[in-house]
Amino acid sequence: MQTVETCFTLSYTEHQYRLAQAYVEDMKKHPKRVYWIGKEGKSDEELILSHVAHKILSGFYNNYDPSFAKQQILDMKNQSSLE
């Protein structure tokens, strides 16, 4: 099996950050949700930025304006390895 490790440099708006912050706060009210699998011990800031990145990379923010992705995904570096 081949894997790739990818590093993205993303930009985000204050609005996107606040939405992610609200999402993380809401998830704290539901500690048994699947959302928490693999996130134990992460700081609020890590959770917020992970959520922002997930939304950007999943295309959530650029569904209506694909050119917006060019403003947010600034750089991508890949390194592949064989397992």
pLDDT in tens, the chain (83 residues): 788 888 888 899 999 999 999 999 999 999 999 999 999 899 999 999 999 999 888 876 556 666 766 677 777 788 776 55
Residue 72 contacts residue 10 (beta carbons within 8 Å): yes
50-81 burial string, b = 16+ CB within 10 Å, else e? ebbbebbbeeebbeeeeeeeeebbeeeeeeee
pLDDT for the residue numbered 38: 92
Q: What is the pTM of this model?
A: 0.75
Domain boundaries along the sequence of the chain: 2-82
